[in-house]
Structure 1
Amino acid sequence: MLRSVTRRTARVRLPIAGLAVALAATLTGCGLLGGDDEGAAPASGAGGLEKTKIKVGTIPVVDVAPLHYAIERGYFKEEGLEVETVVQPNGQAAVAGIMNGSLDITFSTYAATFTAQSQGVADFKIVADGLSAKANHLMVVATPNSPVKKATDLPGKKIAITAKNTFTDLAPMAVMKVQGIDYNEIDWIPMALPDMLGAMTKGDVDAAVVVEPFVTMAMKEAGAVPVLDAASGPTAELPMSGYIAVGGAGKFASSSPNTIAAFQRAMAKAHSESSDRTKMEPMFVKYARLDENTAKLVTISTYSTRLEANRIQRTANLLHEFGAIQAPLDVAPMIVSSPATG
């Protein structure tokens, strides 16, 4: 069960390569259709919700645990909002959903969002923050039989990543750059996250860049050891994901400011409680589909209560610094101002 689910997760978490092509196909095949008016409600002029029912795209990963927590705790209902989560098969489908109107908001990695934004695919707006990587959340790990014992051993070795120009290669490169390690000598090998453990065990790769819960799983199942913390130094607390919508005439991010504000307030309340393991671990088990023992060990990263342009800008700068996007990208116009926690 876990393996079949995590295979989907691996394809979703960092979907940079091919995203623009997939989104362009959506534009061509479906057009930029407006959302349906299910759950539409006239704005009262005094904060009334434009829509009382919205659909939010999700992926079975730890990043979205606070969203499910907010639903279960009734935080959206307190705002007069009903949220239906729609599990997406992959990141491309999730973003296509907000473009064709079948979804109002979707969870997405910032790497994928900023890549698509830089290519003019759509006018994406960030309506809520997701997860920022704490120490031990994004790691280069190796099995005990690997020739890689420390970060300086990485040049000249085969290192598994999900895809090039994603957090799994860009974040480690940023850390290695400040440590004076030549990352250009590394042979980056793209593969699905669930396949990395087997590849390391068989010696097909010398190390792998994994993200939680795969960090914990690699250590539990194969005695993997940390080689480099890719969320440290220049990438410490790196914003990795958020919730996005499409802006423009007739689009949800532009036509539903009161609904978005209600969504933000509920998410901020859930995020303010997310450091409590007793509240997040059941969400990991139920929605990220981890076993209880793994859920107890997973690093809980930072779920910010506010959208801050200067903080999220770090991720766009990282993509530009290492050539994942061709020109600097200003994140500030993409952000829909969010309220503080109550």
Structure 2
Amino acid sequence: MSLNPRSRCGLLASALASALLALCSVAPAAHAADSDTVTIMVGGINKIIYLPAKLAEVLGYFKAEGLKVELQSQPAGVDAENQLIAGAVQGVVGFYDHTIDLQAKGKEIQAIAVFCKVPGEVELVSSKAAAAGFKTMADAKGKTLGVTGLGSSTEFLTRYLVDKQGVASKDYSLLPVGAGSSFIAGMKQDRIQAGMTTEPTVSQMLKSGEAKVLVDMRTEVGTQAALGGLYPAASFYVRNDWAATHKDQAAKLARAFAKTMAYIGSHSAEQIAELMPKDYYGSDKALYVEALKASLPMFTKDGAMPAGGPETVLKVLSAYKPQVKSAHIDLSKTYTNAFLSTK
């Protein structure tokens, strides 16, 4: 069948439009596949326990390793973890305990740099609830306790601390309230009578008199008393398969964080605070510095996993998570120090 010139032009234009549309639809995917940017999700980027992520960026350590790194933030570590599993990000700054929890679910991720030897978490009780008799975790019966998110490390730790006191899970409630201002609002509004949070929120609430400390896991002594050993927490973790196929990038990231940990160990809280964005400390920089001073001892010096730490974390999770207890957990697949020393 012959076509008149106008019809031929119309078909040609249609074909050209279809080709352009197809090209545009695949271009972003091709760009994403070829991109050398490493996206890291942080479970609350302005938390002091996760400070090494922003500090590494500010100090230029990522660039020094030849890396392009984009930092993103999620209010709860479990949300960041989900992004990692989905492949939306290449790494997560969150709690090490997720590596064990996920292995029990058939997913393998590993920490390649560890920031903190202890959780840095504090269980706060509102001053109102404390005055009414809420003095220890044994008094949690009938109360609502705040966590950053369900499935988060704050939930893991909260459940362990309450269960350890003989209070059944059916006798108390957990409420996700995030961190920072949303945590403070939850306690002020009495939606939670106690909750787990980190610095600088802890210092802020203690200074205002709105809360008191129930359990302090900012120090090794406090963590030993609460959990029976060191509990490596804030860390940088990636999928095991990604590390195996991106060894050069993994090594560069681990080195950048190792340099950051060395910097933290050799500089004062005042010097570190000077490098942080203003929105990290708001209108009270002095309070931020004090919170940072209280937090510095929790950081590792070199990004390496502390000896005995993984065993403590496994013990805590196994105490109340049947899936972890029944699984054969291979701790050697949940972390590695190998990338820290790769030249």
Fold similarity call, TM over 0.5: yes
Q: Does 1:125 align with 2:100?
A: no
> Which structure's CA Rg is the greater one?
2
CA contact (8 A) 1:309 1:331 kept: no
CA contact (8 A) 1:125 1:334 kept: yes
CA contact (8 A) 2:281 2:288 kept: no
Amino acid at match of 1:238: Y
CA deviations on 1:298-339 (whole Å, 9 max, x unpaired) are: 231523221347323322321111216433423212323243
CA contact (8 A) 2:109 2:333 kept: no
Q: Which runs of 5+ in 2 are unaligned?
A: 1-29
- Taking the TM superposition and a 5 Å limit, the aligned residue runs for 1:99-178 are 99-120=85-106, 122-133=107-118, 137-144=121-128, 146=130, 147-148=132-133, 150-151=135-136, 154-162=139-147, 163=149, 166-171=152-157, 174=160
CA contact (8 A) 2:177 2:186 kept: no
Partner of residue 189, structure 1? 174
Distance in 2 (alpha carbons) for counterparts of 1:88 and 1:289? 17
Identity of aligned residues (%): 14
Partner of residue 19, structure 2? none
Distance in 1 (alpha carbons) for counterparts of 2:87 and 2:128? 49
Q: Does 1:295 align with 2:288?
A: yes
Residue of 244, 257, 264 corresponding to 1:274: 264
Q: CA deviation at 1:70?
A: 2.1
Distance in 2 (alpha carbons) for counterparts of 1:38 and 1:117? 29
Partner of residue 250, structure 2? 260
How has the CA–CA distance of structure 1 residues 167 and 324 changed in structure 2, closer, same or farther, with 3 Å as cutoff?
A: farther
Partner of residue 200, structure 2? 213
Under a length normalisation based on structure 2, what TM-score does the superposition of the two structures give?
0.69
Distance in 2 (alpha carbons) for counterparts of 1:153 and 1:106? 34
SS in 2 for 1:139: strand
Q: CA deviation at 1:171?
A: 3.2
Distance in 1 (alpha carbons) for counterparts of 2:269 and 2:183? 27
Q: CA deviation at 1:119?
A: 0.7
Amino acid at match of 1:86: L
Q: Give the paired residue count.
A: 289
Residue of 309, 313, 316 corresponding to 1:315: 313
Q: CA deviation at 1:267?
A: 0.8
List 4+ stretches of structure 1 deviating above 6 A.
none
Distance in 2 (alpha carbons) for counterparts of 1:75 and 1:256? 19
Partner of residue 241, structure 1? 234
Under a length normalisation based on structure 1, what TM-score does the superposition of the two structures give?
0.69
SS in 2 for 1:228: strand
CA contact (8 A) 2:78 2:151 kept: no
Partner of residue 62, structure 1? 48
How has the CA–CA distance of structure 1 residues 315 and 284 changed in structure 2, closer, same or farther, with 3 Å as cutoff?
A: farther
